[in-house]
Structure 1
């Protein structure tokens, strides 16, 4: 999650497994369609959910295939778990487009987000148990985490719990990546950090809490400000660490 997405664990390369990746992604799209229909039938969700959720999933799948062509060769069970998370996040993101519906069913939508969050880590466990950890799988999981945080920020704003400034929490990781285009030393592999992981968990937990109707705008602002402060400290620690280890040939400015 967050800027920790920049640090990919040391894993082996993915082996070619045949053209099953396309079938996995198609199955994911079918599941998005089924879930959207169920939400529409069970909760009278807007008909446009089929297009918003489907559009988000297609965008995820397109980026997946464009950025990591190895995904076309097959995902494997660990990455299928990550893909299931992508399906749930696509439904969640599709619902964010309808704030009025979210207001009426905020507990259910928060439960959906919690379910997506609970699957985080399961894919890594499956990969370790089956000996199928790959660089692609690690990056897929990390990028999906970053996107999920961004969507949660949009949801909190849509519910008018926190001002639009909270979007910076979701954009922080992408700003960090963008800065690396000008200062390549920011793209160096980061050391492992318990603090960074704790901040990421706190960030997601805070955004999930802010969705709940029991949390009013004042408390939501206080929680979001604390999350932002912790995220700033986490970024600052990593930037300083990377600065001290930058190649001497690179200059700033």
Structure 2
């Protein structure tokens, strides 16, 4: 596990350097910030992998870590976009986002085929998705408006709410609507960053995705609160 995390950190730093080189010229300070920010999702990967110890990292976990690698490169690109050194809407950036999102469709089937599916792997994948969506929401916010940040912050707001509402800490049963809405957030944010998509149309897609996300989280909160009230004391 330690070796895998070291390789991930090195890969994210290298990805940050490559993004800076491709977007050059950029100021040294901005370039340094971009490279360091490429490590932004590394703590998430390290914390979610910890329950695997002392066992080995699975093949499905390795695929999930590719999502962290892509998120690192996109985080570096985000710094350059915010610094005015890189366009948020470009085909190379859109291709990188699409490739990173595609790994979400790979780790689940691999985990099931190798018999390594379970709550730990699900948590690793969920947190990788949340970190990636957070990065994408910052990028999309530069195109459609700061309100797009709500998509990335929603998951972390829910986690914060569990600190004060014990009912929200209970596990949720599988729900297809939640799965589809969650999986669609990345695609919706990608639409805002594809040059061929008109900005008004992209804003409408992102707004619809946000509305569905609010509905999904709202349903889960209501369900968990009702379950606590009806549970025997």
Kept after mapping to 2: 8 A contact 1:36/1:50: no
Q: TM-score, normalised by structure 2?
A: 0.85
* More relative contact order, 1 or 2 (CA 8 Å, 6+ apart): 1
Please, what is the CA RMSD of the aligned residues?
2.5
Match of 2:119 among 135, 153, 157: 135
How many angstroms apart in 1 are the aligned matches of 2:173 and 2:165? 18
Counterpart position of 2:41? 60
How many angstroms apart in 2 are the aligned matches of 1:53 and 1:142? 25
Question: 1:209 deviation in Å?
Answer: 0.4
Question: 1:142 deviation in Å?
Answer: 0.4
Instruction: Point out where structure 1 has 5 or more consecutive residues left out of the alignment.
Output: 1-20
Question: 1:53 deviation in Å?
Answer: 4.2
Tell me how many residue pairs correspond in the alignment.
227
After the TM superposition, which of the residue ranges 225-234 and 45-54 deviates more from structure 2? 45-54
Kept after mapping to 2: 8 A contact 1:149/1:204: yes
Is 2:71 the counterpart of 1:89? yes
Kept after mapping to 1: 8 A contact 2:20/2:34: no
Q: TM-score, normalised by structure 1?
A: 0.79
After the TM superposition, which of the residue ranges 36-45 and 219-228 deviates more from structure 2? 36-45
How many angstroms apart in 1 are the aligned matches of 2:34 and 2:215? 35
How many angstroms apart in 1 are the aligned matches of 2:6 and 2:208? 40
Counterpart position of 2:5? 25
Kept after mapping to 2: 8 A contact 1:186/1:239: yes
Is 2:154 the counterpart of 1:172? yes
Q: Are residues 183 and 114 of structure 1, via their aligned partners in 2, closer, same or farther at CA, if it must alter by over 3 Å?
A: same
Match of 2:177 among 195, 200, 206: 195
Q: Secondary structure at the match of 1:213?
A: coil
How many angstroms apart in 2 are the aligned matches of 1:133 and 1:222? 36
Counterpart position of 2:51? 70
Kept after mapping to 2: 8 A contact 1:106/1:213: yes
Question: 1:98 deviation in Å?
Answer: 1.0
Matches within 5 A, 1:211-222: 211-222=193-204
